[in-house]
Amino acid sequence: GFHRWSRTANFDDYNLPLPPVIPLVLPKPRTLTIQRQKAPRNDFGFSLRRAMVLERSDSNNSGVNMRAVVFAEPGTIVQHNNETGLLPGDKLLEVNGIRVEEKTREEIIDLIKRSKDSVTVKVQPVAELSELSRRSGCDGREIILDDANIRSGTLRRSGSQRFNKTTTAKSEEQVTSEKQWL
């Protein structure tokens, strides 16, 4: 046990179980069609970033697997408008219907260069940044943000979706039971 004058505490006598870890459910992948910008830029307004990520798995002996991932992220945001609809941390899954998870960054750039006036990408946020693309309502339900919330350059306009429009006033029984808890 813990002695008042000792420098360290010994908790061997206590059973302190950790709460269960609940894995994060990623939002559904988003498919975006991005238009080529006008001259002089002539690009699609986003950049590709390659990074090494650690994936935890029970399949290999160490439990950790390093893998290269390509992110498609918005370029310059002009006047608070995100014309691409991309968010920081969007992992690139497809370009024009072609899966790119096993392709190099250069191969992906070649696919994008072959696009004429528009490119279609499928992206999914990484777990660490998935809160940028989801909201929860006052009643605990998840709110799916539409493309307009993202392209407007801010997610604050999604706040009005948090309130369930079909809610009714509380009954006398509900009010009484809530007062008992206070």
CATH for the stretch 30-156: 2.30.42.10
94/167: higher pLDDT: 94
66/149: higher pLDDT: 66
Winning range, highest mean pLDDT, from 2-6, 13-17, 116-120:
116-120
6 pLDDT band, cuts 50/70/90, is low
pTM above 0.85, yes or no: no
CB 84 within 8 A of CB 30: no
Structural domain boundaries of the chain?
A: 30-156
Predicted pLDDT of residue 35: 92
Q: What is the pLDDT of residues 29-86, one digit of tens each?
A: 999 999 998 888 888 889 999 999 887 665 545 677 888 999 998 887 665 567 788 8
Q: What is the pLDDT of residues 86-143, one digit of tens each?
A: 888 899 999 999 999 999 999 999 999 999 999 999 999 887 776 666 666 666 666 6
Predicted pLDDT of residue 51: 92
Q: Which residue has the tokens 């002996």?
A: 61
Distance, in Å, from the CA atom of 182 to the CA atom of 167, rounded to the nearest integer, reads 23
Mean pLDDT score, 21-33: 84
